Amino acid sequence: MKLFRFVPFTFLISSYLLFLVTCLNVPSLRIGQTSVLVGTKLYFFGGYLMTTKNTPIAINEVWYLDLSNSSLFNTVIPTWYKDVEMPVGIFDISCVSSFNNSDIFVFGGRQYLPNSWTISFNSSVYRFDPNNNSIWSIPNITSFNSTFKTRSSIQAVIDKTRVFIFGGTSNKANSSDNSSRIYYNDMNILDITNMSWSTLVIPQSPPYFAYTATLLPTGLIVYISGLDYLSGVSPVNMSEIRTFNTTSLIWSNITVNGSSIESRWGHSAVLGQNGDIIIYGGSKYSVDQNTQALPNLAVLNTNSWTWSIPDIPPINTPKPLSHHSAALYKNYMIVAFGFIASTRGLFNKDVYVLDTQKYVWIAVNNTATTTKGSSTSQKSQTNKAQETSNSSSNKVPFIGIGVVSGIVLIGIISFVIFLLFKKRHKSYN
């Protein structure tokens, strides 16, 4: 009967290991976040999630992946780092890194008090310095456009010294009623050398939002799809590409040929190393706004202005996402979070990696991941979340180890402990 004395101990060990597997800090499920690459660190800011009571939580968390960490390329366990939180919970935001490859500016977005739809008007521009104790500050900006407060559904791009943000939409104070929305067709320009703001009205364009904005090396900003507002909201045709010349400050339209690409919003775009713009995901704008837009991935050649659909092997194909974020690291497009289109808002917990040279999805893992620790600058906050998975192969980060794997490991360890104690029990006899 002495053997049974060890059963509770084995159970306690197993429970403790299960706690370690499931309760370590990882980013929560979220949509509407933004991401930006600063050096070799891929940062994720904000977003929101829904509680089991269908109550929104605007997230003020900041997480990053250090892509320079060689262990990420050779281990099955990626490491998430949690940095200093944003002053308020924000989603539908836009951010850029500055010319010194350090400061990060966060613009606009829906700022809410915790667990409510009450809008908070703290600021519409925040500055984050990850290289100086991760300090958050509100810059003093001259000639600031006050209508920019709570503006969302925008994208920001930056050249050497200026940030460009077009249009967008916002709600009136303390209102979540769509009828109270305001729509814009202005170009807001922030000169970060002297913190001066200027606003240009663009009469050639109707109020425009939920687009993607990509800055080409030529100084041309390329706006893809999204939504117009005239007497109502309507999707922008993918055969019509809107551009803004950051030198001449001229807005123009370009007709695009090639493959047929469905209009969308909630999509992402990155600039490939060869100058092509790669778009991913998004939803149709319809009664069921979660309907997937097809194709899920397309490429815009910015020399010939033609669309094409890469022939991608059906291996490791990611879910069709919307309201996610994407960034390019070397030749790899990294797609994260968002919700799964055509599922009525089922949140995505995974990170996906696309090799943009070979056009192959690699190392997709649909299990939850554990993580190791956090950055020294972290402010502690209990993560309310569920799980996030990240993947990798062929020496690319993000191979996840899942909760299921953890439970299997626990079972093996518990069995080994049981055998050891059983052997010891026999030796007593």
> 110-154: per-residue pLDDT in tens?
887 766 667 776 788 999 999 889 999 999 999 999 888 878 999
Q: Read out DSSP for 363-380?
A: ----S--------TTPPP
In 3D space, the residue among 236, 97, 96, 196 whose CA is nearest the CA of residue 155 turns out to be 96
Res 388 pLDDT > 70: no
Q: What does the block give as tokens for 292? A: 């997937």
Q: Is the peptide bond before 295 cis (omega within 30 degrees of 0)?
A: yes
> 240-252: per-residue pLDDT in tens?
999 999 999 999 9
For residue 363, the model assigns a pLDDT of 63
> 190-229: per-residue pLDDT in tens?
999 999 999 999 999 999 999 999 999 999 999 999 999 9
Sign of CA dihedral 109, 112, 118, 122: negative
For residue 20, the model assigns a pLDDT of 42
Lowest mean pLDDT among 50-54, 349-353, 412-416: 412-416
Sign of CA dihedral 282, 309, 273, 353: positive
Q: Which residue's structure tokens are 């370009």? A: 254
Q: Quote the CA–CA distance of 159 and 74 in Å, as a whole number.
A: 35
For residue 413, the model assigns a pLDDT of 52
Pairing of strands 306-308, 257-258: parallel
* Beta strands across the sheet bearing 41-45: 34-38, 41-45, 62-66, 80-83
CATH 2.120.10.80 fits 32-67+79-384, yes or no: yes
In angstroms, what CA-CA distances link 181 with 33, 49, 89, 290? 21, 22, 20, 21
Q: Tell which phi-psi region holds residue 395, choosing left (phi > 0), alpha (psi between -120 and 50) or beta.
A: left
For residue 68, the model assigns a pLDDT of 83
For residue 377, the model assigns a pLDDT of 36
**Residue 122 and residue 110 in contact, taking contact as beta carbons nearer than 8 Å:** no
Q: Which helix (H) or strand (E) holds 127?
A: strand 125-129
For residue 110, the model assigns a pLDDT of 85
In angstroms, what CA-CA distances link 138 with 87, 102, 247, 345, 393? 10, 16, 28, 33, 40
> 305-346: per-residue pLDDT in tens?
999 999 999 888 888 999 999 999 999 999 999 999 888 668
Give the pLDDT band of residue 55 (cuts 50, 70, 90): low
For residue 375, the model assigns a pLDDT of 38
Q: pTM for this one?
A: 0.80
Q: Quote the CA–CA distance of 313 and 359 in Å, as a whole number.
A: 8
Domain-by-domain residue ranges, the chain? 32-67+79-384
Lowest mean pLDDT among 15-19, 45-49, 197-201: 15-19
In angstroms, what CA-CA distances link 272 with 107, 279, 290, 300? 24, 10, 27, 10
Q: Which residue's structure tokens are 């299921």? A: 404
